[in-house]
Chain A
Amino acid sequence: MENNKTGINRFLTKISKPFVRFYNRFMDGSLGTKMSHFVMGSGNVYHGQIIKGLIYFIIQAGYALFMITCPEVNKTPLGYKAFINLITLGTQEGDIFTPADNSMLMLLFGVVTIGITLMYLFAYNSGIKSSYKADQDIKNYGKVTSFKQDAKEMLGNRFYITMLTPAALGAVVFTLLPTIFMILIAFTNYDKERQAGLKLFDWVGFDNFTAFFTNPTGEIAARFLPVLAWTLIWAFFATFLNYYGGILLALLINRKGLKGKKIFRAIFVLTIAIPQFVSLLAMRNLIGEYGPLQNFLVQTGILSEPMSFLANAPNVWTARITIILINLWVGIPYSMLLASGAIMNIPESLYEAAKIDGARKFTILRKITMPYIVFITTPYLISSFVGNITSFNIIYLLTSGNPKVTGGYIAGGTDLLVTWLYKLTIDEQQYNLGAVIGILTFLITSIVTLVTYRRSKSYKEEDAFQ
């Protein structure tokens, strides 16, 4: 009980900290700092930091102008109107004379305006901070820093800000905002019939999510579980078969006294270097009905006549097993490289100690080599499992998700969640359903990461080989 209380207290203190700091600065600061809360940069001008003050002022003026004038792109406003539009997602139904409001752009611009506002608030806070710092400088040193000194600081103690800003901007515009946009799409009815500018779409709450689990027609719900199951089966086999296959290959190549290690390793690295679309499309044709492999199988009597192993396979499992096998070809070289690295790093002293103790070869392998490799490569195992859940190329290039399945909701027999997501959004424009699949995929990968990350951390703390 007592503990719980302090927990809440600590949480509250943490939450309220920025506000307390804000309040303190306002009460404690000079007139200029107090002014800065209303007109950005006035504190700096008050202290004689003219250029810095002007920059802050321009930021505030620019933001205010942006919010009030609401500049339009493609007839859809940004600024304060974007906030209203974000809630309504458009009111003008289209008819023959007037086009409908573009709900999609309204949603996007709403998100963009929120992003710009957050950046403004960040600058606002930094403006007050800067003025408060000038107060402190006068109190402590009797003078403020010059603009030149401040600029120099950006390459000195505040260099990390200079370094992070471009990367952060890029990530916000090209990753963060788009992702938030797509998450929001999952809560709307934006689909093929409600294309941008043709018809409005609106917020529908959790309807899309419930459709995946309890749809009245049941179509998409009926497809979801099989696709999910195959995604997990695929990820499991693709990860573990490649992993242990790679370790075995590495043990084979790194055998003591074996000649031509470098040549063998180069052969397998070669397959990593070749772009996947080349090697996978080659594979697809090589094992196709007209390719030399089938010809060989027919001639030797293993097959009675050519058949499709991939997109047109008579049985879904034929295609699935073929994909997993081809993936061995793609993936084993990677894990071989990693395992090789681990093997070469095993301290010789460990082996010598084991030999002195009279350990047999197999025992050394079981007790030293394998645990060491597994210890070093466990993080790789986790990331490759996550990577396999979202692996797009191999499925798309080999089968495009086919063979077709009855009642498929365009999901074929080998479609993973991600290729299904791609088909739903790019080919079918069912953006809302695609977004839901994206979120569900995210939930799966984050659960896997969280669970295994904790495990691997406890693993690390053992320091077994350090």
Chain B
Amino acid sequence: MSDNTNTKTKIKFFNQTRSEKISKAGAYILLIALSIIWLYPILWILLNSLRTEFNVDGTMVGTVVSHYWPKQFGFDNFKTLFTNTYFPVWFRNTLFVAVFSCVLSTMLNLSVAYVMSKVKFRMRKPFMNIAIVMGLFPGFMSMIAIYYILKALGLTQTLTALILCYSAGAGLGFYVGKGFFDTVPQALIEAARIDGAGEARIFGSVILPISKPIIVYTALMSFTAPWMDFIFARVILGEQNTHLHTVAVGLYYMMYGQIVDTSRFTVFAAGCVCVAIPIVALFMYLQKYYIEGSTAGSVKG
């Protein structure tokens, strides 16, 4: 009797490990297949930036070609990008805008987030409701009005205008930060208050030092936004002002401007690689904060 149950469990155990093994192998195969699908377009852009193929007449083949793997590698596209296009200027513009809007946005965003989370003042609820309602309008619906307000201020077609566009409304996106500050125990603030610290001191020397995750997350998000947006940049800076473009606008026009020039695809790819590498490096380096921040925002709503 006891022998019987023993073999039964043995068989069950044996079968389980076997099916376990099969399903594990299946999981690996599936994951590798998915990884290939996800990497396929990325690798393709990278390969195109290095593709150095020549026509019979000696000119470069810059168009999209039907073979995936380049027949010849080289850095000619990058050379063209840096000597024959405005790319270095675009890159500098974008970096300038990104740095300033990052600092400004982070300050505005986190100060609102902190106040909304920790100070229970009289107008708090109405303010929060207004912010929620404002967030539901499509962002660029008001672009025309912003354009004319900037014009009245004499700021259109300047990079300052773009910085203001990206960062002035940053206070309205306080939810993620609020979610973070909600988890900071009120007791910490009370204790500092009992010690006689003023509210500014409390924020500066109690709250900020423990807020590194949310500061890094907010800064990362606002730093990367100017590299990705091309809607505002396009309208505010004007289509013709090539020297004022950001990388996204410049590269978009390189491919799909008024004159569609399909032979610049490989140069475009080189530009994409130059933009993507620093951004990806930044993301990978700060991955932990990114994941923390995006989960905090979603859990708290």
Interface residues of A (CB under 8 A from B): 73-74, 104-105, 108, 112, 152, 155-157, 159-160, 162-164, 166-168, 170-171, 173-179, 181-182, 249, 252-253, 255, 257-258, 264, 266-279, 281-283, 285-286, 288, 290-292, 294-296, 329, 333-334, 337-338, 341-342, 376-377, 379-380, 382-383, 386, 390, 392, 418, 421-422, 425-426, 431, 434-435, 438, 441-442, 445-446, 449, 453, 456
Q: Does the CB pair A181–B138 fall under 8 Å?
A: no
Near A by CB (< 8 A), chain B positions 90-107 give 107
Q: Given A156-B198, A171-B169, A177-B145, output 17 extra A-B contacts at Cβ < 8 Å.
A: A74-B151, A105-B148, A108-B152, A162-B200, A174-B146, A175-B168, A176-B134, A264-B31, A271-B38, A273-B276, A282-B45, A286-B44, A334-B294, A341-B295, A386-B136, A390-B139, A425-B143
Question: Which residues of A lie under 8 Å from residue B198 when comparing CB positions?
Answer: 152, 155-156, 159
CB distance from B222 to the nearest CB of A (A): 13
Q: Which residue of chain A has the shortest Cβ distance to B23 in the bound complex?
A: A255
Q: Considering only CB atoms, which chain B residue lies closest to A431 in the complex?
A: B144
Asked if B275 and A255 make an inter-chain contact with CB atoms under 8 angstroms apart, the answer reads no
Contacts of A252 in B (CB 8 A): 27, 30-31
In the complex formed, the residue of A with least CB distance to B174 is: A167
Contacts A170-B171, A273-B283 given; does A438 touch B137 at CB 8 Å? yes
Taking a contact as CB atoms closer than 8 A, the residue among A173, A380, A441 that contacts B149 in the complex is: A173
Known: A167-B170, A290-B64, A295-B67. A104 touches B248 (CB 8 A): no
- With a CB–CB cut-off of 8 A, which chain B residues contact A257? 24
**Residues of A contacting B200 in the complex (Cβ-Cβ under 8 angstroms):** 155-156, 159, 162
CA distance in complex: A383, B301 (Å): 8
Which B residue sits closest to A285, measured CB to CB? B64
Contact with A along B13-41 (1 / 0, CB 8 A): 00000000000100110110011011111
- Report whether A329 and B37 are in contact in the complex, using a CB–CB cutoff of 8 Å: yes
Check A170/B167 contact, CB under 8 A, given A269-B283, A273-B284, A441-B138: yes
Assuming the A-B contacts A174-B169, A281-B252, are A182 and B65 also in contact, with contact meaning beta carbons closer than 8 angstroms in the complex? no
CB distance from A455 to the nearest CB of B (A): 12
State whether B134 touches A171 (Cβ < 8 A).
Answer: yes
Give residues 141-164 of B contacting A (CB, 8 Å): 141-146, 148-149, 151-152, 164
Interface size class of B (residues with CB under 8 A): 35 or more
Q: Measured between alpha carbons, how far is A456 from B298 in the docked complex, in Å?
A: 12
Q: Does B199 contact A (CB under 8 A)?
A: yes
- Pick from A175, A177, A329, A386 the residue with the most CB of B within 10 Å: A175
Q: How far is the CA of A249 from the CA of B276 in the complex (A)?
A: 25
Give Cα A166–Cα B279 distance, bound, in whole angstroms.
29
B131, B148, B152, B280: which has the most chain A beta carbons within 10 Å? B148
CB distance from A352 to the nearest CB of B (A): 18
User: Cβ of A294: which chain B residues have Cβ within 8 Å of it?
Assistant: 66
Q: B203 near A159 (CB under 8 angstroms)?
A: yes
Assess the A275–B275 pair: CB atoms within 8 A: yes
Q: Contact between B171 and A456 (Cβ–Cβ < 8 Å)?
A: no
Chain B, 107-142, contact with A by CB distance < 8 Å: what is the 0/1 string? 111011011000101000001001111101111111
The answer on a CB contact under 8 Å between A178 and B142 is yes
Contact A255 B24, beta carbon cutoff 8 Å: yes
Answer whether residue B243 sits at the interface, using C-beta atoms and an 8 A cutoff. Answer: no
Can you name the residue of chain A whose Cβ is closest to the Cβ of B273? A278
B184 interfacial contact with A, CB 8 Å: no
CB distance from B50 to the nearest CB of A (A): 14
Specify which of B34, B37, B65, B148 is in contact with A108 (CB 8 Å cutoff). B148
Contact B231 A290 (CB under 8 A): no
